[in-house]
Structures are given as C-alpha cells and as structure tokens.
Amino acid sequence: MTSLAVHPPLAAAQFELIAESIPHIVWMARPDRSTEYFNRRGTEYTGLPREANYGWDWVSLVHPDDAERARRGWEASTRSHTLFELDYRIRRADGEYRWHAFRASPVLDGDGEILKWIGTATEIEDRKRSDAALHRAHADAARTLNVLETLQSTAPIGFGFIDRDCRIVRLNDRLAAVNGMRADEQIGRTVAEVVPDVWPQVEPIYRRALDAGEPTGPDPHRRAAPAGRPPRPAAHRR
C-alpha cells in the first residue's frame, strides 16, 4: 500500500512547483475522487479552464467505452486504499480521444484513512497504436496460416512450399505420395534429394520463381514433356 505524508503549507507549494514543471498531466483529488487540482499541462490538453476540470467534470473527458472500466477501477482502489493503475482514453481539446496511463497514490492519515489522491496521466497513444498494429499482424498471420493449412490438407492436387534453398517446408499428403515418401520424411530436405530424377527439369522453373519473387510455371515456348514424364510443377516462393 502506498501512502504519502504532506505537511501544509510548505509541502503544498513544493508540490505545485513540481507538478507544473513535469511533462505529464498531474492532478489531485478528494477522497471521493472529485478533482481539486489540475496542472497547466492538463488544462492545455483538455483546452478547458483549470476550474472546469475540478469536481466531477473530469468524468465527461473519459471515452464512453472506457468510462465504466475506469469507474470500477477507481472504486476498487478506493475500497482497498491501494495504488490506482489503469489505461484509458481522455478527450483532447480538438475532440480526439487519446490513450493515457493513469497512476494515483492515496495520501493516508494516521488512522489509514484517505485524505486525498495524487495522480498523473501520461500519454501512451503511440504505444497503444504499435501494440494494436502488432496484434493485427499476429492475427493476420494466424488467419493466413489457417488458410494455408486448410488448403494444404484439402487441395485435390499435390501442393507444397519450398524456401530459397529449395528445401521443402510444407507439402500435403497428395504430393508426398507422388514423391513416394511420407510428408514428415520430406520436410527439410531439398527437392533435389527427394526427386533427383525430376530436379534437373524443374530447377530452372524454381529458380525463375525465386528470382522474380512471384509464382511461375513451365515456359510456354518450351516443347511439352514426352508422355510418361512427370509434369513440371509450378514453383512457389515462401
């Protein structure tokens, strides 16, 4: 549990001097969480006169989707007399809601009762955007992998992927059967190792695909393979 001892009036003057000089929104609230002090950075952010941020008016600045979560968090910290820590969005002067990390410590009297709250709000919008972008990237990757796995397992044709070293990284059972080995026996091996007789024919196709960075197939100007010779598969860059 965090507690602070403040000796007025000197400590109050020192507190305000510090609060007005640091690059964060700083505020002070009564035991009921109504605001009684808001620093200059806070008023610049909200675009409202300092007095307009006092009392319970700060609630109107919280994003509607975050208001209930913020209320529950505050109530829990008030009941337990413990540090309040929560991220939520508050409205800027131009109307945009931006993420802030809110932290507040209760100032306790000798009996352990809350005298006031002293807190800060630090903007973390850029971090939240980065986290959201990373989450979307992971979700997109998972969906893509799911599609590939489904396609691999259900495709009515032989289907596989190789890396830039022409090593097999993924193939379905149908292609594995054509090659004459189980799929797990072929993963990690080069195409030349798995089908040495066919590799001289298909290597140029694979190399063109890897160099061009896009799928390719047999050269239409080349003569078709004699009957009985395995068809040339398309090469896919991974």
Assigned token pair, 88: 């939520």
Determine the distance from the C-alpha atom of residue 88 to the mean position of all C-alpha atoms in its chain, rounded to a whole number. 16
Separation of alpha carbons 138 and 168, rounded Å: 24
Burial class (CB in 10 A: 0-12, 13-18, 19+), 102: buried
Q: Provide the pLDDT for residue 134.
A: 83
Query: Which SS3 state, helix, strand or coil, does residue 96 take?
Result: coil
Q: Provide the pLDDT for residue 207.
A: 81
- In the DSSP assignment, the letter for residue 61 is G
| Closest-CA residue to 175 (of 147, 196, 194) | 194
3-state helix, strand, coil in the chain (%, to 5): 45, 20, 35
Query: Which SS3 state, helix, strand or coil, does residue 43 take?
Result: helix
In this structure, are residues 170 and 161 in contact, taking their beta carbons and an 8 Å threshold?
A: yes
Q: Which residues contact 87 (CB under 8 A, 6 or more apart)?
A: 99, 100, 101, 102, 124, 128
Taking the chain, what is the end-to-end CA distance rounded to the nearest angstrom? Answer: 54
Q: Provide the pLDDT for residue 139.
A: 82
Encode pLDDT of 89-118 as tens digits.
Answer: 999 999 999 999 999 988 888 888 888 888
Global pTM?
A: 0.56
Assigned token pair, 57: 């008016």
Q: Looking at 33-169, list the stretches that DSSP marks H as alpha helix, in order from N- to C-terminal side.
A: 40-46, 64-80, 125-154
In this structure, are residues 37 and 43 in contact, taking their beta carbons and an 8 Å threshold?
A: no
- Cis peptide, bond prior to residue 9, ω within 30 of zero: yes
**Domain boundaries along the sequence of the chain:** 10-125, 152-238
Q: Provide the pLDDT for residue 152.
A: 63
**Are the folds of 10-125 and 152-238 the same?**
yes
Fold (topology level) of 152-238: Beta-Lactamase (3.30.450)
Residue for token digits 């594995």? 176
Separation of alpha carbons 33 and 144, rounded Å: 47
Residues of the chain with pLDDT under 70: 1-14, 52-57, 145, 148-149, 151-153, 155, 213-238
**H or E stretch including 133?**
helix 125-154
Separation of alpha carbons 137 and 20, rounded Å: 40
Fold (topology level) of 10-125: Beta-Lactamase (3.30.450)
